[in-house]
Amino acid sequence: MEAALLAAAQPLTVAQLSQLFDEHEGVTQSQLGAALADLDSDCAGRGVELKEVASGFRMQIRAEFAAPVSRLWTERQSRYSRALLETLALIAYRQPITRGEIEAVRGVSVSQSIVKTLEEREWIRVLGQRDVPGRPSLYGTTKAFLDYFNLKSLDELPTLAEIRDLDQLEPEFVFPGGPDQQSGSSAAPAASPQTDPIAADADTAGSDPSPQSTEPL
């Protein structure tokens, strides 16, 4: 099981792990659960840990080692602006929610580039349409969103009462780009928007007409 979890490119469910064994071996669900618990205990004090997320179980780097290990990857880390993260937070906490409802809360129009980026990362998806004139799309988060942020379900999101004033946060954040670095996905200051290719693209990207101001991604 440990070898399979290390080799897999995505989290594995208990059902997928059970396929590692032949039927005549008679491995039960309870035995698989016990083996996962043993593996979790064996990882104590090591640089990797067993983590259960929405899509299943995976082996990952511990948060305290994510920064130095990330130096092994040469590709540039993805940088996301405050505007994108606020949009994602509203979708996570108030889903299903429309783009217009997000704009009403934030006070600025949501750039189409923000929605496109979140959909390309497979963090959000269209759940349906609101039954109002224009039938705007309703957005919600995905399992990929939960997996990336080390969550098993939306119930593990911090309560709004636990979240500090957003004004105390840095306007830019850095997130590791690969699944191997998931456990190091806590926020960190990023370069200025002028050096951020994503932010730079958003400066020239069009957005839907709106009487509100448009905030760059």
- The pLDDT tens digits of the residues spanning 46-97 come to 999 999 999 999 999 999 998 899 888 877 777 888 999 999 999 999 999 9
Domain identity same for 65 and 80: no
How sure is the predictor about 116, in pLDDT bands with cuts at 50, 70 and 90? very high
What is the CATH classification number for the domain harbouring 25?
1.10.10.10
User: In this predicted structure, what is the pLDDT of residue 124?
Assistant: 97
User: In this predicted structure, what is the pLDDT of residue 180?
Assistant: 43
Q: Is the pLDDT of residue 177 over 60?
A: no
Identity of the highest mean pLDDT range in 38-42, 157-161, 192-196: 38-42
Evaluate whether 173 touches 85 at the Cβ level (below 8 Å): yes
Report if residue 215 sits inside a domain.
no
Laid out side by side, the sheet with 97-98 consists of 97-98, 137-141, 124-129
Quote the number of domains for the chain: 2
Domain identity same for 18 and 66: yes
The pair of three-digit structure tokens given for residue 101, joined into one six-digit string: 């409802």
Domain range enclosing 42 = 2-71
Evaluate whether 154 touches 137 at the Cβ level (below 8 Å): no
Single out the residue of 106, 84, 100, 91 nearest to residue 136, CA to CA.
100
User: In this predicted structure, what is the pLDDT of residue 11?
Assistant: 95
Q: How far apart are CA 26 and CA 121, in angstroms?
A: 39
User: In this predicted structure, what is the pLDDT of residue 163?
Assistant: 65
**Which position has the token pair 């083996």?**
35
Domain identity same for 139 and 189: yes
Q: Is the pLDDT of residue 216 over 70?
A: no
When comparing pLDDT for 114 and 200, which is higher? Answer: 114
Using CB atoms within 10 Å of the CB of residue 145, give its burial: 0 to 12 exposed, 13 to 18 middle, 19+ buried: buried
Report if residue 217 sits inside a domain.
no
Domain identity same for 47 and 101: no
State the distance between the two ends of the chain, measured CA to CA, in whole angstroms.
42
Helix or strand (DSSP H, E) at 140: strand 137-141
Domain identity same for 50 and 97: no
Domain identity same for 123 and 151: yes
When comparing pLDDT for 204 and 87, which is higher? Answer: 87
Hey, is 108 helix, strand or coil? coil
pTM assigned to the model: 0.66
Listed range (79-88, 105-114, 197-206) with the worst mean pLDDT: 197-206
User: In this predicted structure, what is the pLDDT of residue 25?
Assistant: 82
Domain identity same for 95 and 65: no
Question: Half-sphere exposure of 106 toward its Cβ, with a 13 Å CA cutoff?
Answer: 25
Domain identity same for 42 and 84: no
User: In this predicted structure, what is the pLDDT of residue 26?
Assistant: 82
How sure is the predictor about 155, in pLDDT bands with cuts at 50, 70 and 90? very high
